Structure formats: C-alpha cells, structure tokens
Amino acid sequence: RKKAPTCGNCHSGHYVKGHLSRVEIGREMVSVCGTCHPAQAATYLDNYHGKAAVNLGDKNAAFCTDCHGAHHCRSLKEKKVALAACKRCHLAATENFTQVIIHNTTRDLAENDRRKRAHVALIRVVTVLMTILVLLVVGFFYGHSFIWILRELHEKLRKHQ
C-alpha cells in the first residue's frame, strides 16, 4: 500500500513563481501530478481536455484539480462524485457524462466495470487500426507521387536523347 502524499510532494518550498496565469499553473500541475500518476497524466494529455488546456493554452479547459480537487484528490470512480466534477464545467451534464472515458487506461477502472474496460480495449484497437490506415494511405500517396516523378523524369530524359 502506498503512503499518502505530504505537502512537500506537490508544493515546493523554494523557487515558487508568483503571478502565473491559470494555464501556466495548470501546466505545472499536470507535471507535478504526473510524477506520481504518469499513466493518468499521459492519458490526460491525449484527451481533449489535456490537448485544449496544455497544448492550446485554453484557460477554460479542465486541469487535474478541476476534476480531482487540489487537496482532497478525489477518485471519480463513484458516479455521484464524477457527475459533480463534470457539472462544475458542464452545467447540463447528466449521469451519461460519467461514462466518458477521460483516462484511457484500465488501471483506473474498477474491477467490476467491464463495460468501460471493453470500451478502453475497443478504443485501443480502433486507434491502432486508424494509425495503420493513415500510414498506409500516406505511404501509398507518397509512393504514387514518387513513381509519378520518376516517370516524368524518365520521359524528359528520353526526349532529350
């Protein structure tokens, strides 16, 4: 069993920058949370919330503490807690909102949540298949363009002989 974190795990006594924007604080937060929760940080950054917040600098996007809290660090496995977290930003959220998979990892899912585990597996399969499809299509068109250029070059060289 892991020990509970202390203040020093998340807060540094030295070199704290003042006057940071919400986005800068959020980016730092993802880095700090990610030291103990690397899988969750990685899946957050792959998700819409992480891309909008960290990559695009959207100050309205959700950071770690927006859903999990700063000092209570709530788990969102219970639907009531998850729904309350969603409703902080999505006022019209219903219980169906809690079915959305934010952290695409089976580690965070309850053992009895077979439906979400199946969805995570499906997401992984679709991701792999789409990656393969994109690589094949791009490869085909690059190959086609390369052959077309060779053909044009061949015709030009043949005309000059």
Percent of the chain with pLDDT over 70: 89
Across the chain, what does the average pLDDT equal? 85
Cβ(70)–Cβ(39) below 8 Å:
no
Using a pLDDT cut of 90, give the percent of the chain over it.
23
The reply to whether 48 and 3 lie within a common domain is yes
- Do 100 and 115 lie in one domain? The reply is no
Q: What is the pLDDT of residue 132?
A: 98
pLDDT score at 98: 81
Measuring CA to CA, which residue among 57, 5, 48 is closest to residue 26? 57
pLDDT of residue 126: 93
- On whether both 79 and 149 belong to a single domain, the answer is no
Predicted model pTM: 0.63
Domain limits for position 131? 109-161
**Number of domains into which the chain is organized:** 2
Helix (H) or strand (E) holding 33: helix 22-36
Handedness of CA 108, 110, 90, 130 (dihedral sign): positive
